[in-house]
């Protein structure tokens, strides 16, 4: 018998209670910064915002309880109404475009292609996402300037007259969507690329043998197999699009008229420009409820459309 | 060999516990403990960031906030040194706060107020004058009465219209230091190409239209005869003023005699002076307002003027410098900008804004406001008073990147390096057109500006019928805006 074997293992271990105490203590230490940070910068503002929605507060004077007056005022405010309608329209168009382009690009990259070209395109599509939305929007604002922008200059070369990209309601909404989608589709693209890579090749080979090619193979084999990723990508895209702010704020400042004003823009204007923090909180609360409702609806629908292997 | 090493010998229990606990402190545990130790040592040893490091908190220095960058703050070091030499007992801390525009700057100041770290003194432009006067600023009346002899030189050198812009309900809240009227800048290169001379002082709106048409004829493409922006200063308002109207009804509060009687007894417009401007009701559906918007709509429709976007600033200077713009409204602040963009004094000039029913001009100004929460208001007043002296203003405004409020500083030598040739237009605006008024900015300025900007673009982009619809919307939005508390 060796010397070490004379010591039973249970003797080396500390008592379970003490071990448990140390572990809990360390877990607590490791988690404390995150928990504290979230409590201070996430949960506390959420609670404060909930409470503020029932007050009138301009920062300078003391808050004044007004019950549901802020919510009642929102119903009467045409700007708020229009901004929510704009946001919903934006979400519908931008998310469909974002997911559609991302899926198309990811599918194309899965096809036969030189590896270097695949790497190049993957980086290129993802690159806009790492740029600041404000910087991109400032740059795009110059590009789409009616008189001096590059876009209209290029159009003039083929005889197309100048388009008021940022000063007509329809064109400005289109530019906001375009800039947003251009900058954000890279994330969905990466998700789809990962999902497509994980589909076993045998399944596509079997489908080919059965005569299912092209769209038939995509809709009956590929799409069901990546449907969980489609769900995740669409949930994230919708939540992000519902909170769109930078692009319309910098490109058009919500105009012309209210044609590109979004819900988050109205929250910002109400709180930090017009000092109506109660109203801003009430709008924020409604937007949160809207986001939760849309997400819940998506998960509910996913039971019918999402296929888990 | 020690007893503990003897096979079969059971070591003492305390020793066993000790070694077993250490064996349980694996890499993760050790990392945790090391982290705690490092954090503890760091917290204990470092001169860490505390609440007192936030400007304005825990410091006895007079905290002054200006709109600008760190470079702007550095540019005022000479001013601070001069003040410190005159008042060694008053330490001063200048805080430059960046903002896209005045509205953005005011939002940041209000956030500082909410955070409990308000500055003692804030440089406030006309856009925020009534917001500050209504909610945040200390009236200067008592100080001016007390130190009237010291500041009489300032009042003797500054046009009363500029001071009236900072009167609110009979009290004066700021001593304006710089200002700019919305005059008309002319690109003389493009004027020469069109065979045009500098227009006469009393040129009319029709003369202006004819000028734009001539400019367009000479440069059919890649050129804008009239560039204007969608904002409170230099946008639609100068045209409304020229047409003797505004989108808000303008009245004057009673009071202010204490100032006018003492410092401006010989003012030709003394009878019209009051206790400050009031913008209490919307006036967007007034016939002249509709007429003005329709005129601007026609300019856009005929390709003589741009559909206005919000903003302006540096990009506009570049376009003007490249001869891609014929005319644009701007103030004295543009002289230095155009000079730095490479334009020589003979490549641009300035003229009064065209006459319509009147030739009333719009202007904006700025000066220091003392916050009601200032730690030492007397010290703050010393700063305000010092900055209004000629010596201080020369240090603060060494170049024509704005127009000094002191008439004596607006002279040949000030514009010698930059132009324009007719620099006298800047101050003459106030003398020739004494009814010239400030940017219409009630305490609810942010909401009012948003309402105006969003309806201007739709009003000038459609048909004549669309103008009336847009003015109806503007009226409704202004009613909502003016109902707000602030």
Whether B380 and chain A come into contact, CB under 8 Å, resolves to: no
Per-residue pLDDT at B43? 62
pLDDT digits 0-9 by tens, B470-482: 999 999 999 999 9
Closest alpha carbon within chain A to B132: A60
Q: Which of A6, A12, A60 sits opposite B136 (nearest CB)?
A: A60
Q: What is the interface pTM, i.e. ipTM, of the complex?
A: 0.76
| Shortest alpha-carbon distance between residue A255 and chain B (Å) | 6
Neighbour-count burial of A62, counting CB atoms closer than 10 A to its CB (0-12 exposed, 13-18 middle, 19+ buried): exposed
Q: Which of A18, A168, A276 sits opposite B484 (nearest CB)?
A: A276
- Residue B446 CB contacts under 8 Å (≥ 6 apart), including other chains: A269, A273, A274, A275, B103, B106, B107, B131
3-class state of residue A252 by DSSP:
coil
Closest CA to B338 of B430, B328, B439, B404: B328
- Residue B407 CB contacts under 8 Å (≥ 6 apart), including other chains: B157, B158, B159, B427
Least confident among A103-107, A167-171, B346-350, B481-485? B481-485
Closest alpha carbon within chain B to A3: B7
pLDDT digits 0-9 by tens, B209-224: 999 999 999 999 889 9
Q: Measure the N-to-C terminal CA separation of chain B; round to a whole number of Å.
A: 87
Closest alpha carbon within chain A to B128: A273
Q: How many residues does chain A have?
A: 309
Q: Which of A59, A166, A168 sits opposite B110 (nearest CB)?
A: A59
Produce one character per residue of A263-297: b if its CB has 16 or more CB atoms within 10 Å, e if not. Answer: bbbbbbbbbbbbbbbbbbbbbbbbbeebeeeebee
Structural domain boundaries of chain A? 4-52, 69-305
Mean pLDDT confidence for A50-57:
95
Per-residue pLDDT at B311? 62
| Shortest alpha-carbon distance between residue B215 and chain A (Å) | 16
**pTM across the whole model:** 0.82
- Residue B277 CB contacts under 8 Å (≥ 6 apart), including other chains: B130, B164, B165, B167, B250, B251, B252, B253, B437, B438, B440
pLDDT digits 0-9 by tens, B17-38: 444 455 555 666 677 777 777 7
User: In terms of CATH, what superfamily is B55-180+365-409?
Assistant: Periplasmic binding protein-like II (3.40.190.10)
- Test A29 with B32 for CB contact under 8 angstroms: yes
- Residue B130 CB contacts under 8 Å (≥ 6 apart), including other chains: B168, B276, B277, B441, B442, B443, B445
Closest CA to B412 of B400, B430, B401: B400
Closest CA to B86 of B429, B379, B404, B434: B379
Closest CA to B436 of B333, B373, B346, B363: B363
Give the C-alpha separation, A9 to A5, whole Å.
9
Q: B486 versus B450: which is more confidently predicted? A: B450
Give the C-alpha separation, A58 to B312, whole Å.
30
- Test A14 with B454 for CB contact under 8 angstroms: no
Helix or strand holding residue A186 (H, E): helix A169-197
pLDDT band at residue B2 under the 50/70/90 scheme: very low
- Test A272 with B110 for CB contact under 8 angstroms: yes
Give the C-alpha separation, A119 to A101, whole Å.
18
Q: Is the pLDDT of residue B14 over 70?
A: no
Q: Which of A78, A148, A274 sits opposite B484 (nearest CB)?
A: A274
Closest CA to B109 of B91, B89, B136: B136
Per-residue pLDDT at B57? 59
Q: Which residues pair with B282 in a beta bridge?
A: B248
| Shortest alpha-carbon distance between residue B358 and chain A (Å) | 29
pLDDT digits 0-9 by tens, A93-125: 999 999 999 999 999 888 777 888 888 998 999
Give me the half-sphere count of Cα atoms (radius 13 Å) on the Cβ side of residue B177: 25
> Boundaries of CATH 3.40.190.10 in chain B?
55-180+365-409, 183-247+283-360+444-483
Give the C-alpha separation, B300 to B308, whole Å.
9
Preceding amide of A268 cis, omega within 30: no
CATH tag, B183-247+283-360+444-483: 3.40.190.10
Query: Can you state the angle between helices B445-459 and B287-301, rounded to 10 degrees?
Result: 50
Helix or strand holding residue B205 (H, E): helix B205-218
Per-residue pLDDT at B372? 96
Chain A residues with CB-CB distance to B under 8 A? 3, 6, 11-14, 18-19, 22, 26, 29-30, 56, 58-61, 77-79, 142, 145-148, 164, 166-169, 253-258, 261, 269, 272-276
Whether B335 and chain A come into contact, CB under 8 Å, resolves to: no
3-class state of residue B228 by DSSP:
coil
pLDDT digits 0-9 by tens, B133-150: 999 999 999 999 999 999
- CATH class name, domain A69-305: mainly alpha
Please provide the average confidence, as pLDDT, over all residues in chain B: 90
pLDDT band at residue B1 under the 50/70/90 scheme: very low
Q: Is the pLDDT of residue B7 over 70?
A: no
Produce one character per residue of A81-92: b if its CB has 16 or more CB atoms within 10 Å, e if not. Answer: ebbbebbbebbe
What DSSP letter does each residue of A100-162 carry, written as one string? HHHHHHHHHHHSS--HHHHHHHHHHHHHHHHS-HHHHHHHHHHHT-TTT-HHHHHHHHTTPPP
Q: Is the pLDDT of residue B54 over 90?
A: no
């Amino acid at each position: 018998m060796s010397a070490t074997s004379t010591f039973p293992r249970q003797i080396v271990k500390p008592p379970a209670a003490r071990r448990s105490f140390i572990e809990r203590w360390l877990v607590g230490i490791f988690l404390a910064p995150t928990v504290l940070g979230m409590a201070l910068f996430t949960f506390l503002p959420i609670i404060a915002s909930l409470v503020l929605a029932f007050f009138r507060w301009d920062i300078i004077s003391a808050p004044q309880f007004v019950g549901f007056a802020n919510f009642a005022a929102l119903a009467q405010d045409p700007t708020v109404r229009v901004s929510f309608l704009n946001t919903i329209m934006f979400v519908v168009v931008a998310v469909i475009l974002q997911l559609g382009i991302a899926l198309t690009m990811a599918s194309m990259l899965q096809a036969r292609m030189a590896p270097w070209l695949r790497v190049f395109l993957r980086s290129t599509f993802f690159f806009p996402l790492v740029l600041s939305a404000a910087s991109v929007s400032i740059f795009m604002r110059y590009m789409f300037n009616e008189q001096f922008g590059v876009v209209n200059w290029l159009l003039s070369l083929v005889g197309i007259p100048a388009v008021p990209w940022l000063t007509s309601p329809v064109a400005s909404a289109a530019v906001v969507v375009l800039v947003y989608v251009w900058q954000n589709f890279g994330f969905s693209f990466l998700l789809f690329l990962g999902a497509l890579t994980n589909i076993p090749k045998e399944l596509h080979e079997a489908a080919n043998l059965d005569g299912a090619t092209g769209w038939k193979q995509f809709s009956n084999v590929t799409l069901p197999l990546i449907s969980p990723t489609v769900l995740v990508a669409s949930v994230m895209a919708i939540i992000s699009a519902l909170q769109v702010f930078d692009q319309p704020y910098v490109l058009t400042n919500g105009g012309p008229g209210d044609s590109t004003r979004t819900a988050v823009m109205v929250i910002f204007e109400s709180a930090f420009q017009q000092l109506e923090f109660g109203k801003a909180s009430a709008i924020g609360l409604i937007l949160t409820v809207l986001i939760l409702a849309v997400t819940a609806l998506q998960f509910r629908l996913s039971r019918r459309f999402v296929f888990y292997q | 060999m020690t007893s503990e090493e003897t096979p079969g010998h059971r070591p003492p229990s305390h020793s066993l516990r000790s070694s077993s606990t250490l064996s349980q402190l694996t890499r993760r545990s050790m990392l945790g403990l090391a982290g705690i130790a490092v954090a503890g040592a760091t917290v204990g040893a470092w001169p860490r960031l505390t609440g007192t490091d936030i400007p304005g908190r825990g410091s006895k220095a007079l905290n002054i906030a200006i709109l600008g960058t760190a470079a702007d703050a550095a540019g005022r070091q000479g001013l601070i040194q001069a003040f410190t030499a005159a008042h060694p007992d008053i330490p001063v801390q200048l805080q430059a706060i960046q903002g896209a525009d005045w509205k953005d700057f005011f939002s940041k100041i209000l956030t500082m107020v909410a955070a409990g770290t308000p500055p003692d003194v804030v440089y406030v432009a006309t856009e925020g004058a009534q917001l500050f006067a209504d909610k945040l600023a200390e009236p200067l009346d008592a100080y001016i009465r007390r130190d009237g002899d010291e500041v009489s030189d300032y009042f003797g050198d500054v046009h009363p219209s500029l001071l009236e812009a900072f009167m609110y309900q009979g009290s004066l809240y700021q001593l304006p230091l710089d200002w700019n009227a919305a005059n008309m800048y002319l690109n003389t290169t493009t004027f020469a190409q069109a065979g045009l001379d500098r227009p006469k002082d009393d040129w009319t709106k029709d003369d202006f239209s004819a000028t734009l048409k001539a400019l367009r004829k000479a440069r059919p493409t890649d050129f804008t005869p009239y560039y204007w922006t969608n904002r409170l200063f230099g946008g639609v308002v100068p045209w409304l003023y020229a047409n003797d109207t505004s989108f808000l009804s303008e009245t004057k509060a009673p009071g202010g005699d204490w100032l006018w009687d003492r410092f401006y007894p010989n003012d030709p417009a003394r009878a019209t002076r009051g206790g400050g401007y009031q913008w209490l009701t919307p006036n967007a559906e007034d016939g002249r307002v509709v007429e003005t918007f329709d005129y601007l709509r026609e300019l856009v429709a005929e390709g003589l003027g741009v559909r206005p976007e919000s903003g302006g600033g540096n990009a506009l200077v570049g376009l003007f410098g490249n001869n891609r713009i014929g005319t644009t409204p701007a103030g004295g602040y543009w002289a230095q900008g155009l000079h730095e963009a490479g334009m020589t004094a003979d490549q641009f000039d300035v003229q009064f804004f065209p006459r319509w029913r009147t030739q009333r001009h719009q202007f904006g100004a700025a000066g220091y406001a003392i916050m009601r929460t200032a730690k030492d208001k007397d010290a703050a007043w010393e700063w305000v008073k010092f900055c209004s002296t000629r010596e201080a203003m020369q240090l603060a405004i060494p170049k024509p990147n704005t127009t000094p409020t002191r008439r004596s500083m607006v002279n040949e030598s000030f514009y010698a390096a930059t132009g324009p040739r007719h620099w006298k237009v800047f101050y003459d605006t106030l003398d020739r057109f004494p009814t010239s008024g400030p940017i219409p900015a009630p305490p609810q300025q942010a909401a009012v500006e948003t309402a105006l900007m969003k309806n201007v673009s739709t009003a000038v982009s459609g048909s004549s019928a669309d103008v009336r619809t847009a003015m109806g919307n503007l009226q409704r939005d202004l009613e909502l805006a003016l109902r707000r508390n602030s």
